Structures are given as C-alpha cells and as structure tokens.
Amino acid sequence: MLFLHKLLLHIRFYIQIPNTIKELEIVRINIIGKKGTISSLLKLLSKLNIVKRSLFGNIINNIKQITQLLFTNRKYKIEALTLEERIIKENVDASLPGRILTIGSMHPITDIISKTERFFLKLGFISMSGIEIEDAFHNFEALNIPKYHPSRTEHATFWLTKKLLLRTQASNMQSRILIKQKPPIKVISSGCVYRNDYNKTHTPMFHQLEGFLVDKTISFSNLKTIVRDFIWFLFNNKINLRFRPSYFPFTKLSTEVDILSSSNSWLEVLGCGMIHPKLLNNANISTNYSGFAFGIGIERLAMLYYNMNDIRFLYDNDLRFLKQC
C-alpha cells in the first residue's frame, strides 16, 4: 500500500516537469503506455491470490484513472502557457474583434444555368453533358452547315487542327444523340462554347444551354409555348418578348427570341426552331416524328436578369460587382 502511495506521488511530480506537449507525451508513455510502469504492475497481479489481486487491482486502476486526469490537466495548462507566450512574442492584440467571414454565393452565370435547368427538368427533359473539343463533322456537317458557311472560317472559329475545333455551339450534342437514341427524346445540355468575337455583348468563350425534343405531333406552337413559359418563369414576370423570323441551317422554321430590356431596347437571348427534316432523316428517324430545338445564351439572360450593360463584367471577377448580384 505504501509503495502504491509513493508511486502516485512520483507520478504527480514527474507530470509537472515537462514544459512542452512532446515532452509530456514521452512521460505519459513511460507511465501508462503499453510498456509503462502501471501496465507492468497490472501484469504482476496474476501472481497474487484472488483476494489480494482484487484489492491491488482496484487500487492500481484508480491510480491509472487519476494519472490520466493529471495528464489531461497538465496538457491544457501547457497549451494555455504556449498560447500566452505566442501572443506576447507576436505582439497580438487579443482584444481586437475577429474577422467576419462573409457567406459566399453562386456566380451569376451558374445561377442562371441552375434556374434554367430547373425549369426544363420539371418538364421531363434529361440533362446531359457534351464535349468541348469537337470534330468538324458533328459541329458542322451533321447540323446541315455546309463547308462554305462563314462560321467555319478562322475569323469565327477556333481551329485546333484541320478536323478538330473548340465547339461553336452546344448543338453538337444534338447531332450525336439523335443517332444514338430512339424517340421520344427530351434532352438539355449546358456548357462552354467558343467563337472568335469580343465586344460589349460577345466574349470568345460563353455558355449555352441547348435543348431539343423529338416526338409525335410536335408543332411550332409547342415550341413557342415552352419558350414563352421559360422566359416568364426565369424573370418571374410576364415580360415583353418577341419571336423574330431567322435562319439556322439545322432548323426549319427558325426564329430568334428577343426580350425588351429596361432601356427599352430589344436584346436577343436565344434561337430556336423546328428540327430540320434532313437531320431527322440522317438519324434514321421516321417521318412520323418531328421535333424542335433551342439554344439559350446564358450570358445574355444574365445581362437582362441582373440589369447589366456590358457582358464582360461577368468575367472581370470584381467582387464589388459580384456582391450586387
């Protein structure tokens, strides 16, 4: 009994010696580690009779628990002293208020894409991703764009090789999916597209959301209704929009959709139309089916949604602008 009492006194003494966490850990291992003093005493209990084994076993376990508590208290004290020394050494004013961490938010482009996808997903469209490095066939020929078309020149397109390019439109997904899937088909695909243009309303890289639907009894009125409902959903308002006749090689009928901005001027936001019969025929889709397609300019919608007059603000990474969105 006297031996165990002296052991506890020695433990209390040795625990107070270390001044660092590393030194304290060495002392802890020597006392209560697997090969430490207390573990060695527990192994000797097997040599005692049942009565003494029970008595001394309880005492040693109590000493072990007290020792663990002493180590914990010493560790907290060392950490507090270390922090105090660091504050004095680094001349830190602990009374200064803490830094306020502001909550982040989605970038305007990401926000518009998310809202747009949410609308079409509720209508049963499936979201699919497409490749940005495309071959000339799927970017042009499969979409009924002839070799002499001006969009294929180096002034308009970023060519990587004679056959590979950075896709100029998200419609490249349409040319691939029509061949692989059988109707009915309802797909949207968003991502970056690239064109050699840069001004207040154009950037060399921008975002499009392509969508198309192929099924029986699909008409132009279906397209107009969905596009109108989408615009009203996005802006949460029945704003003025117009369908303006246009031309796209991959649609027939073709139209562009303009929205009346706050400055009372019309701004184009998307192009759409009935999928050209030639595309459906090339994909071996029966004449019983028809479809429509649309390509939405995300940046254009963002300009209207956030009342911007220059598309380049979206890429300047100016926090003063982003915090206003």
- Burial track 264-281 (b if 16+ CB lie within 10 A, e otherwise): eeeeebbbbbbbbeebbe
**Structure tokens, 187:** 């797909």
Fold of 108-322: BirA Bifunctional Protein; domain 2 (3.30.930)
161-196 pLDDT tens trace: 888 989 888 888 888 888 888 889 999 999 888 987
pLDDT of residue 112: 92
- Pairing state between β 266-275 and 251-260: antiparallel
pLDDT tens, residue by residue, 275-291: 999 888 888 888 899 99
- Residue 67: the pLDDT is 81
CA 234 from chain centre, in angstroms, equals 21
- C-alpha dihedral sign at 123, 125, 126, 127: negative
**Cβ proximity of 154 and 142 under 8 Å:** no
Mean pLDDT of 145-171: 82
pLDDT bracket for residue 245 (50, 70, 90): very high
Using the predicted structure, report yes or no on whether residue 2 has a pLDDT greater than 80.
no
